[in-house]
């Protein structure tokens, strides 16, 4: 493994360790909410969403931070906050204190996410950036998988404080890795490119289209699909499956389908990234998730059997991996050519806006109409964006 690839693996695994506490909370809080000192169900929803909403105003400030301070400093602060917040989950028994801790985690995630992207841009070149973006996204997702699975199982078997302390200790042990894996300074060539990019107007029609794609990707993949999956399965799933002595309910099946993607991403995402690096026009890869994803959204609410639904859901998860990897690669490629901090800050902001709007809009429409309506709308949005990209490619070819 070359030095650049080691740095990408390093920052991805540091991010994964930082994510353990947050991922564990997603599974544990809705079940053990009274142990956290909560007094009402609505408090669960607010604690699980406040970190996402706080990132919207925080992301531009994080972008400004990285324009003036070293990458290593930002990642160190982020991991330190993650360690502190993870430890707090096991010992705080007051809603308002937990809310403050979740706001702090939102700041940490903004620093980590942007710091990770900037590290990938710093150590990659045009011919391997897609591969590195896929590798980075795939590996940090393991933090979510381990946090949810191991966290959920361990809290049942031991105690909440034991799990949060263990995860916090893992974070402490990871702190020295920042010195080894996260770049501290830019090479002269990169610094010159950055200054040239500052002089250029970084916001053009191509980048606007990438940002629009990022917003829709956040809305569909991280917002709508992730939060409506169990509702969709429940609507279709009238007879529970039994495996040995275990009953597989809608929530369990939704968790298994989500886990599949987290499990295959470290292997599949880098391969998709390699394909993106090799093709002359990477935008053409993006057309696959836009058009196929649009058709699948129509299919998901019209299949007649449970087996067909599971196959369609797994296929959409695969399409999601292509969608995320391609969108992030297009964003990092554009950032490397202009002002990387501004472009990646804008990219993380629009993805977060999409992810925050996804569940909000989805459940409003489900409440007024049905789950079919929001899936039809989402499919139409994907296909429409596909046609916009086709027009853009056509204009590029004839100019």
What domains are defined for the chain? 3-185 (1.20.1250.20), 205-397 (1.20.1250)
Cα atoms found within 13 Å of the Cα of residue 78, Cβ hemisphere only: 29
What are the distances in angstroms from CA 76 to CA 133, 216, 345?
Answer: 21, 31, 19
Residue 237: what pLDDT?
65
Residue 368: what pLDDT?
86
Residue 186: what pLDDT?
47
pTM of the model: 0.84
Mean pLDDT, each 10-residue run in order, the chain (399 residues)? 88 95 85 86 84 89 91 94 95 93 95 92 90 93 84 81 94 94 60 52 86 95 83 71 58 76 90 92 92 94 86 94 95 89 92 86 84 92 96 78
Residue 187: what pLDDT?
40
Cβ pair 286, 330 in contact under 8 A: yes
Q: Which residue has the tokens 């970190």?
A: 51
Residue 233: what pLDDT?
82
- Cα separation, 153 vs 157, in Å, equals 6
- Cα separation, 96 vs 94, in Å, equals 6
Torsion of CA 292, 295, 299, 300, to 10 degrees: 70
Residue 169: what pLDDT?
96
In three-state secondary structure terms, 155 is helix
């Amino acid at each position: 493994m070359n030095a650049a690839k080691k740095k990408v693996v390093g920052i991805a695994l540091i991010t994964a360790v930082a994510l353990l506490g947050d991922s564990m909370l997603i599974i544990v809080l809705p079940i053990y909410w009274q142990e956290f000192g909560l007094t009402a169900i609505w408090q669960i929803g607010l604690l699980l969403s406040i970190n996402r909403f706080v990132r919207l105003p925080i992301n531009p400030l994080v972008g400004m931070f990285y324009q003036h301070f070293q990458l290593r400093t930002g990642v160190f602060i982020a991991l330190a906050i993650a360690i502190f917040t993870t430890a707090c989950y096991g010992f705080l028994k007051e809603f308002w204190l937990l809310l403050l801790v979740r706001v702090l985690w939102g700041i940490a995630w903004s620093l980590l996410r942007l710091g990770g992207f900037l590290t990938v841009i710093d150590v990659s070149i045009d011919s391997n950036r897609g591969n590195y973006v896929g590798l980075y996204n795939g590996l940090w997702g393991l933090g979510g998988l381990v946090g949810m699975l191991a966290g959920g199982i361990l809290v049942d078997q031991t105690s909440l404080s034991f799990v949060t302390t263990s995860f916090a200790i893992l974070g402490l042990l990871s702190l020295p890795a920042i010195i080894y894996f996260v770049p501290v300074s830019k090479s002269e060539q990169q610094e010159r490119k950055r200054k040239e990019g500052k002089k250029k107007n970084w916001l053009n029609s191509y980048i606007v289209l990438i940002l629009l794609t990022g917003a829709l990707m956040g809305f569909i993949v991280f917002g709508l699909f992730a939060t409506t999956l169990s509702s969709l399965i429940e609507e279709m799933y009238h007879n529970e499956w039994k495996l040995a002595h275990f009953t597989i309910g809608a929530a369990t099946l939704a968790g298994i389908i989500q886990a599949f993607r987290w499990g295959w991403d470290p292997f599949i995402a880098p391969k998709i990234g390699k394909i993106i690096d090799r093709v002359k026009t990477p935008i053409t890869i993006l057309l696959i998730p836009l058009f196929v994803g649009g058709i699948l959204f129509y299919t998901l609410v019209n299949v007649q059997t449970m087996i067909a639904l599971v196959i369609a859901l797994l296929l959409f998860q695969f399409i999601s991996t292509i969608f995320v990897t391609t969108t992030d690669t297009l964003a990092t490629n554009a950032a490397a050519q202009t002002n990387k901090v501004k472009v990646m800050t804008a990219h993380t902001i629009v993805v977060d806006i999409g992810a925050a709007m996804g569940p909000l809009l989805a459940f409003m429409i489900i409440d007024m109409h049905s789950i079919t309506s929001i899936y039809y709308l989402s499919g139409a949005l994907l296909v429409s964006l596909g046609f916009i990209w086709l027009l853009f490619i056509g204009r590029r070819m004839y100019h």
